Structure 1
Amino acid sequence: MWQAIILSTCLAQLTFAADWSYTGDTGPANWGINNSDCALQAQSPINIVTGNAQTDDNLPIVDRSYFYQPSDGMLVKNNGHTVQVDLINGYTINDNNLLPFPAKAAQYHIHWGTATASAHTGGSEHTIDGRQYFGELHVVHYNTKYANLSAAVSQSDGLAVFGWFIDVTYPQTNLDIQNLLDLAQTNAADKNDNGTITNRFSVETLIPPNLNEYYRYKGSLTTPPCYESVVWTVFKSPIEITQAQAIQLATAYYENQAANMVIENNFRPVLPLNGRTVTKPRPLVQQSSGSTSTPHMITGFITMALTVASLL
């Protein structure tokens, strides 16, 4: 039963696409030759220009509790392009303000650059005002109107992907990320390796504290077959890791261990926006006490105060 479910949750680097890689003749510049959707006009990733993002008052602040529930099962694997965790019966987000459809978590995977003892290079897929982070975590959800991820992936309303940048700034080991890296190194170091994660943990343990700021746009898968089926949510606050953790991510996983071919620089360069709109929620208003509230909350307080005053 689990094998059938796992087969239905393969997205991050879709194996039914023609052979592709991140370099050379099969690299991103040539993906459109064998996968025509990769040459369309609403592709991902993009460079997010924060000053051009339009405020959408209907977009809410993201409720962290959406990510609390661990899935019924977890499988970590190496598909030769990335390290991926398949979620068996993952959480479902049912918030019409946040997403245009109920969305069920199916898997997550990571993109990254290179790292040595003294330096690291950018490997995130999206960029912010031209800045590329070391890495990017993608959590993939599918529209529950479809039976599974495989059925949803090619549909225009099929997927919702949440992206978090990974920044190499943390002064001490990020223990939750370290747990994931170690599980992947033990069970999925080489291409086609996989293993069941018995001590399950939630997505909430991996993501940063601040979920208030994010950017929304309509785009595509960032790997072949590049279907334009994704509602993207890219968060501003990054996951923070240490240089040692960046080195592990960039050196411990292989597309061919026998040939010493590590997975690195597994990102697609940014693509033109081509007239698409990037939106963002209205910022929270900082109060002198350190608490925060939205403009709608402030309006409500004023209305309530005026109502009480009229009764005195």
Structure 2
Amino acid sequence: MDTNISMLSTLFLALLFSLHSTDAAPEWGYKGDSVVAEDWATVHANCGGESQSPINIDTYYAKEMEFDAWKFTNYDVLVDNETSIMNNGHTIQVNPGTYTAGSTTISGGGLPSVYSFLQLHFHWAETNDAGSEHTRNGNAYPVEMHLVHWDSGNYAIPPLAVTSAKGLAVLGVWFEVGEENPAFDSMLDAISETNVMYKTPNLGSYVFPESALFSLGDLLPADTTKFYRYDGSLTTPNCYESVVWTVFSDPIQMSEEQIEKFRATFQNEPEPNPIPENYTAPEELPIGLNYRPVQDLGDRTVYKGFATLSAPESTVPSTTAGATSRHFDTYTVFLLSIVHYIFWLSEDMYKFPYSP
């Protein structure tokens, strides 16, 4: 058997195993009848660990540290035309197409490896005095965005990285109420103008049209040289302690009207179309809030980081539709296609373990 095909088969089986290797557990959530955040450890033991996230960042005790320059590869390039947005019942999540996932990476900034972009999602609450998962000096922001990356420098596929120390790198961005932010228009329009405001049936997704594509770099603060750094966990079950956290110091602005679009989302699926006879519509359940309370820092150190400013690096054309990856060989691109097909369609993988 060809060596590459054998490797592909092995990795594919490893992926399948990761999808089904966990025992069934009660549905977790943040309020209502689900297992709420304060009780997650009763059904997901990892959530009771000693290096959990999020945390309160006490700037007085944060240790100053200078890091090497960030390297944001293809963060200035439009995401590909397979990029999609969905409501998984817990959050609004954006999933990259295979090409973007295979070519968009972060490194430097004190990270121990090269990390590939996996997904981004948001946390919020019903009012502006809460919503962010991380707080600063006890103060919360109304929204926090997480851009999740996996260690593609050391692991073949995301499921192998997610349970490993420093296997994930998450960029956290705080939002404050201010001016309208056009960088998020295509996401927010998708929420309000499509059924993404409801849990996406069968965990499908809405693919962005060509006219609504965006670059990840436009979603970050203007100054990425200042940030907080610590080692922690996913902030949803199974709470694996595998995350190198970066929370940027400078919040970005979003208007009150834009933030309200997150609050107008629901845990339940939309009514079927067409509506069958004798159909009884379920009660609409707003997501409402989806942040985990801060966890004990313990003996961990939070660093107040300073990184040298560096220009974004592009290795692909600015128009990516129909392109083939220069970063990976043919077999890896094929593998990633299979990974993403199963990964994005599996409900288990949305609940566990990819939503820090």
Name the residue aligned to 2:188: 181
Aligned equivalents of 2:23, 2:223: Cα separation in 1 = 34
Name the residue aligned to 1:309: none
Residue 262 of structure 1 pairs with residue 274 of structure 2: no
Matches within 5 A, 1:143-158: 143-144=151-152, 145-158=154-167
TM-score by length of 2: 0.69
Matches within 5 A, 1:115-194: 115=127, 120-144=128-152, 145-170=154-179, 173-185=180-192, 186-193=194-201, 194=205
Identical counterparts, % of pairs: 35
Q: Count residues in correspondence.
A: 270
Q: CA RMSD in A?
A: 2.8
Q: Does structure 2 conserve the Cα–Cα contact (< 8 Å) formed by 1:45 and 1:222?
A: yes
Q: Mind listing any 5+ residue stretches in structure 2 that lack a counterpart?
A: 1-11, 271-281, 310-356
Instruction: Give the drift of 1:209.
Output: 1.1
Structure 1 residues 60 and 66: CA distance shift in structure 2, 3 A: farther
Residue 103 of structure 1 pairs with residue 115 of structure 2: yes
Correspondent of 1:48 among 57, 63, 83: 57
Matched to 1:106, the amino acid is L
Q: Deviations over 1:170-207 (max 9, x none)?
A: 2xx21122221112332512112421113222111222
SS at match of 1:217: strand
Q: Deviations over 1:196-235 (max 9, x none)?
A: 1132221112222121210000000000000001000000
Name the residue aligned to 1:223: 236
Instruction: Give the drift of 1:113.
Output: 1.0
Matched to 2:190, the amino acid is L
SS at match of 1:50: coil
Instruction: Give the drift of 1:169.
Output: 2.1
SS at match of 1:56: strand
Structure 1 residues 237 and 35: CA distance shift in structure 2, 3 A: same
Q: Mind listing any 5+ residue stretches in structure 1 that lack a counterpart?
A: 285-291, 293-312
Matches within 5 A, 1:33-44: 33-44=42-53
SS at match of 1:107: strand
Aligned equivalents of 1:26, 1:159: Cα separation in 2 = 25
TM-score by length of 1: 0.78
Q: Deviations over 1:66-99 (max 9, x none)?
A: 5213343312111100000111233443534531
Q: Does structure 1 conserve the Cα–Cα contact (< 8 Å) formed by 2:71 and 2:108?
A: no
Aligned equivalents of 1:271, 1:180: Cα separation in 2 = 30
Higher strand share: 1
Instruction: Give the drift of 1:18.
Output: 4.4
Name the residue aligned to 1:203: 216
